[in-house]
A and B are shown apart, each in its own frame.
Chain A
Amino acid sequence: MSHYEAPIREPLILGEKSYHDITEDIAKPIEGKANKNWYIAFYISLAAMLWGFGCIFYTVGTGIGTWGLNKNIGWAWDITNFVWWVGIGHAGTLISAVLLLFRQKWRMAINRSAEAMTIFAVFQAGLFPIIHMGRPWNGYWVMPIPNQFGSLWVNFNSPLLWDVFAISTYLSVSLVFWWTGLLPDFAMIRDRAVKPFQKKIYSLLSFGWSGRAKDWQRFEEVSLVLAGLATPLVLSVHTIVSMDFATSINPGWHSTIFPPYFVAGAIFSGFAMVQTLLGIMRKVTNLEDYITRLHVEYMNIVIILTGGIVAVAYASEFFIAWYTGSPYENYTYMSVGAATGPYAWAFWSLILFNIAIPQLLWIKKVRRSFIWSFIISIAINIGMWFERFDIIAIVLSKGHLPSTWWRFEPTFVDVGIFIGTIGFFFVLFLLYARTFPVIAQAEVKTILKSSGENYKKLRDGKHE
Chain B
Amino acid sequence: MSNKVIHAFYNDDEVVLDAVKTVKAAHHHIDEVFCPFPVHGLDKALGLAPTRLAIASFMYGILGLGIAIWMTNYMMIQDWPQDIGGKPNFSWWLNMPAFVPILFELTVFFAAHLMVITFYMRSRIWPFKEAENPDPRTTDDHFLMEIPVHNNEEELLTLLKETGAVEINIVEKH
Residues of chain B within 8 A of A177, CB atoms compared: 112
Kindly supply a per-residue 1/0 record for chain B positions 59-101, scoring 1 wherever the CB is within 8 Å of any chain A CB and 0 otherwise. 0000000000001100110011010110100000001001101
User: Contact: A226 with B112, CB < 8 Å?
Assistant: yes
Between A and B, 13 residue pairs with Cβ closer than 8 Å are A2-B40, A2-B41, A159-B101, A162-B102, A165-B101, A173-B113, A190-B139, A191-B136, A208-B128, A210-B132, A222-B53, A225-B115, A230-B112
Q: How far is the CA of A241 from the CA of B98 in the complex (A)?
A: 15
For residue B43, CB closer than 8 A to chain A, the reply is yes
For residue B32, CB closer than 8 A to chain A, the reply is yes
User: Could you list 20 further interchain pairs (A-B, Cβ under 8 angstroms) beyond the known A157-B87, A173-B113?
Assistant: A18-B141, A144-B75, A155-B82, A157-B98, A162-B105, A166-B101, A169-B106, A207-B120, A208-B128, A213-B34, A213-B43, A213-B46, A214-B51, A216-B39, A217-B42, A217-B43, A218-B123, A226-B116, A230-B112, A445-B141
For residue B170, CB closer than 8 A to chain A, the reply is no
User: Contact: A166 with B105, CB < 8 Å?
Assistant: yes
User: Contact: A213 with B141, CB < 8 Å?
Assistant: no
User: Contact: B54 with A225, CB < 8 Å?
Assistant: yes
User: Contact: B42 with A208, CB < 8 Å?
Assistant: no
Kindly supply a per-residue 1/0 record for chain B positions 26-58, scoring 1 wherever the CB is within 8 Å of any chain A CB and 0 otherwise. 000000111111111111001010110110010
User: Contact: A144 with B108, CB < 8 Å?
Assistant: no
Interface residues of B in 116-134 (CB under 8 A from A): 116, 119-120, 122-133
| CB nearest to A214 among chain B residues | B48
Kindly supply a per-residue 1/0 record for chain A positions 54-74, scoring 1 wherever the CB is within 8 Å of any chain B CB and 0 otherwise. 000000000000000000000
User: Contact: B46 with A157, CB < 8 Å?
Assistant: no
For residue A206, CB closer than 8 A to chain B, the reply is yes
For residue B140, CB closer than 8 A to chain A, the reply is yes
Q: Which one of B35, B80, B82 has the highest number of Cβ atoms from chain A below 10 Å of its Cβ?
A: B35
A182 to chain B, nearest CB (A): 12
User: Contact: B123 with A214, CB < 8 Å?
Assistant: yes
B25 to chain A, nearest CB (A): 17
Nearest 9 CB-CB pairings of A with B: A208-B129, A191-B136, A19-B141, A153-B75, A162-B101, A207-B125, A442-B37, A210-B133, A216-B38
Kindly supply a per-residue 1/0 record for chain A positions 200-238, scoring 1 wherever the CB is within 8 Å of any chain B CB and 0 otherwise. 000110111111111111111110111001101100100
Q: How far is the CA of A449 from the CA of B13 in the complex (A)?
A: 10
Interface range on chain B (Cβ under 8 Å from partner): 35 or more
Given contacts A183-B125, A216-B42, contact A233 B101 (CB under 8 A): no
For residue A240, CB closer than 8 A to chain B, the reply is yes
Given contacts A176-B113, A240-B101, contact A213 B32 (CB under 8 A): yes
Q: Identify which of B35, B42, B79 contacts A153 (C-beta below 8 A).
A: B79
User: Contact: B112 with A229, CB < 8 Å?
Assistant: yes
User: Contact: A156 with B125, CB < 8 Å?
Assistant: no
| CB nearest to B56 among chain A residues | A225
Residues of chain B within 8 A of A212, CB atoms compared: 32-34, 123
Given contacts A20-B141, A153-B76, A216-B38, contact A208 B130 (CB under 8 A): yes
Given contacts A19-B140, A162-B102, contact A222 B115 (CB under 8 A): yes
Given contacts A188-B36, A211-B133, contact A217 B139 (CB under 8 A): no
Q: Which one of B50, B80, B104 has the highest number of Cβ atoms from chain A below 10 Å of its Cβ?
A: B104
Number of residue pairs spanning A and B whose beta carbons lie under 8 angstroms apart: 204
Q: How far is the CA of A154 from the CA of B71 in the complex (A)?
A: 11
Residues of chain A within 8 A of B79, CB atoms compared: 151, 153
Q: How far is the CA of A99 from the CA of B79 in the complex (A)?
A: 44
User: Contact: A215 with B123, CB < 8 Å?
Assistant: yes
Q: How far is the CA of A240 from the CA of B137 in the complex (A)?
A: 46
Given contacts A207-B126, A229-B112, contact A155 B84 (CB under 8 A): yes
For residue B22, CB closer than 8 A to chain A, the reply is no
Q: How far is the CA of A222 from the CA of B36 in the complex (A)?
A: 17
Q: How far is the CA of A209 from the CA of B139 in the complex (A)?
A: 9
User: Contact: A19 with B75, CB < 8 Å?
Assistant: no
User: Contact: A144 with B109, CB < 8 Å?
Assistant: no
For residue A152, CB closer than 8 A to chain B, the reply is yes
For residue A401, CB closer than 8 A to chain B, the reply is no
Interface residues of A in 136-184 (CB under 8 A from B): 144, 151-159, 161-162, 165-166, 169, 172-173, 176-177, 180, 183-184
Q: Which one of B41, B51, B87, B99 has the highest number of Cβ atoms from chain A below 10 Å of its Cβ?
A: B51
Given contacts A157-B84, A211-B139, contact A445 B36 (CB under 8 A): yes
A308 to chain B, nearest CB (A): 28
For residue B153, CB closer than 8 A to chain A, the reply is no
| CB nearest to B30 among chain A residues | A213
A157 to chain B, nearest CB (A): 4
User: Contact: B131 with A208, CB < 8 Å?
Assistant: yes
Given contacts A207-B120, A225-B115, contact A156 B75 (CB under 8 A): yes
Kindly supply a per-residue 1/0 record for chain A positions 1-21, scoring 1 wherever the CB is within 8 Å of any chain B CB and 0 otherwise. 111000000000000001110
Q: How far is the CA of A295 from the CA of B54 in the complex (A)?
A: 31
Residues of chain A within 8 A of B131, CB atoms compared: 187, 190-191, 203, 206, 208-210
Given contacts A207-B120, A212-B34, contact A236 B113 (CB under 8 A): no
For residue B167, CB closer than 8 A to chain A, the reply is no
User: Contact: B108 with A229, CB < 8 Å?
Assistant: yes
For residue A443, CB closer than 8 A to chain B, the reply is yes
Q: Identify which of A19, A187, A209, A225 contacts B57 (C-beta below 8 A).
A: A225
Q: Which one of A190, A211, A233 has the highest number of Cβ atoms from chain B below 10 Å of its Cβ?
A: A211
| CB nearest to A445 among chain B residues | B37
| CB nearest to A150 among chain B residues | B80
User: Contact: A188 with B139, CB < 8 Å?
Assistant: yes
| CB nearest to A173 among chain B residues | B112
